[in-house]
Amino acid sequence: MPTLGDVARYHGEVRGQAVALSFEGRDTTFAGFDRKTSQVANALIAAGLKKGDRVAYVGKNSDLYFELLFGA
């Protein structure tokens, strides 16, 4: 079953230079989004999180939320 990380990876490869997110004048391409979600995933793994662990986001509306969501 595909994960959200798989979705980010797929679109990063297929639509790399297209804009995935636009927030407060900051555009993120699909390739950039894929890189950032991979960084989040690797940071969570390095912190010791495993499949099934829970991650919370407490913050204002932001494009960073989607990087965490897809990276987790």
- The CATH number given to whatever domain includes residue 38 is 3.40.50.980
Number of structural domains found in the chain = 1
pLDDT at 2: 87
- Residue 1, pLDDT above cutoff 90: no
What is the distance in angstroms between the CA of the first residue and the CA of the last residue of the chain? 16
For residue 53, give Cα distances in angstroms to 13, 34, 47, 49, 57: 28, 22, 12, 6, 14
Structural domain containing residue 20: 4-71
**3-class SS of residue 42:** helix
- pLDDT, tens digit, for every residue of 10-63? 999 999 999 999 999 999 999 999 999 999 999 999 999 998 999 999 999 999
